[in-house]
Structure 1
């Protein structure tokens, strides 16, 4: 179920385009939302004409950047017809680890801070771009896993979106808001793995069919 990163016109990103988007993220960490096409072209060693050709306008570049960052959060490959308790638990835990690694990175913190500022000021549609290509797109990647778990008799829930929001809340807790407000949380690999495993166990305690998903 791995997603291929695409830019706003739906084409697969080349390595050169990925490098441009990494340059955008690096600039956002350094400069916040004071991002210009000129600065991106300079950092990425390409022309502004190339940026406009690849991504359209500034919003198109920002959309592609958010999609590129969000594409790092994905569900594992699995056989829907042979999904068992161990595979389901691993898929959920790996997704949680993946997501926590992304949202605790300096690039995501900078991107989300900029999106919040833009949403409050009405300067651009960056807030909507982050919602559509971040949170909402990520939900559409995990909900098929949840639905497959229900179809296999491993999970019990009425609505996939509600179940996803429960999982999302258990994984994220207050981590993202604290980081956005400048709290220096420990978010190394060991802490992320621990938190992801705990969130998965909590979710399965709530939605796992009795006896179908044994405790880890």
Structure 2
């Protein structure tokens, strides 16, 4: 299961570093884009020197925070020789469920609100960071699973990006935009699992192969 996260040095995050990134997320909820390295150091009970050593500058810290948040969406390793419809379905449902849990959390809502605000101003750093290390990175992680499904004759599509965008839309629907606009939507674990299963069912209805042959290569 691909659940680990590595900082720029290639070393896996320590529990102490995870504590720091969780502190960043909490501060974003409380203070928005007023977050500073001093405030993070104070909240995480560490020195600014340590923050700079681990993450570089503020953008490096924000990048690591977005990547840490995105890493909570699990993508199982795929054994292409043994992939079948039940295992593919389970993989997609887990991914969708994790995704819905992440985007409906207070921390992700706060992070995305700040990112959207930056995208509409001269402060474009966080918007670009969230796009590259959130949505785009998650697509890069799931597309190999979709391609493996196509190679196994389980899925039929011509473009992996288009297939992923369809899955993204079926999973997210209007949930994220409603939350960003202040809807106090609080789905339960059972509701999230149900929605994840339904999104996967709809996706397979659209892209499930009707024959054993896969589509043309990208």
Indicate the residue corresponding to 2:192 in structure 1.
192
| Deviation of 1:43 (Å) | 0.3
Q: CA deviation at 1:211?
A: 6.8
1:157 corresponds to 2:157: yes
Counterpart residue number, 1:144? 144
Inter-partner Cα distance in structure 2 for 1:124 and 1:172: 24
Alignment partner of 2:75: what SS?
coil
Find the residue that maps to 2:154 and give its secondary structure: coil
- 3-state SS of 1:121 partner: coil
Question: For each residue in 1:127-151, what CA deviation from the matched residue of structure 2 results, as whole angstroms up to 9, or x when unmatched?
Answer: 0100110001100111011001000
Q: Secondary structure at the match of 1:54?
A: helix
Task: Tell me the SS of whatever aligns to 1:82.
Answer: coil
Partner in structure 2 of residue 109 of structure 1: 109
Contact 2:74 2:98 in 1 (8 A): yes
Moved over 4 A (4+): none
Structure 1 match to 2:56? 56
Cα separation, 2, equivalents of 1:66 and 1:9: 17
Superposed displacement of residue 9, structure 1 = 3.9
| Residue ranges of structure 1 left out of the alignment (5+ in a row) | none
Superposition map of 1:193-212 within 5 A: 193-210=193-210
Q: Distance in 1 between matches of 2:197 and 2:123?
A: 39
The normalised TM-score by structure 2 is: 0.94
CA distance in 1 between counterparts of 2:145 and 2:125 reads 30
The answer to whether the 8 Å contact 1:7/1:63 transfers is: no
- The 2-side partners of 1:8 and 1:58 are apart by 14
- Structure 2: stretches of 5+ with no match in the other structure: 213-218
Provide Cα deviations, 1:108-157, integer angstroms capped at 9, x if missing partner.
00000011111111224110100110001100111011001000000000
| Conserved? CA contact 1:74–1:142, under 8 Å | no
Deviation at 1:3, TM superposition (A): 4.2
CA displacement 1:140-178 (0-9 Å, x = unmatched)? 111011001000000000011100000000000010000
Q: What is the alpha-carbon root mean square deviation over aligned residues?
A: 1.3
| Distance in structure 1 (CA, Å) of the matches to 2:44 and 2:124 | 23
Take 1:211 and 1:80, find their aligned partners in 2: how far apart are those partners?
18
Aligned pairs for 1:1-216 within 5 A: 1-210=1-210
Q: Give, in angstroms, the shift of residue 10 of structure 1.
A: 3.5
Aligned length: 212
Q: Is the 8 A contact 2:104 2:186 kept in 1?
A: no
- Please, what TM-score do these two structures have when normalized by structure 1? 0.95
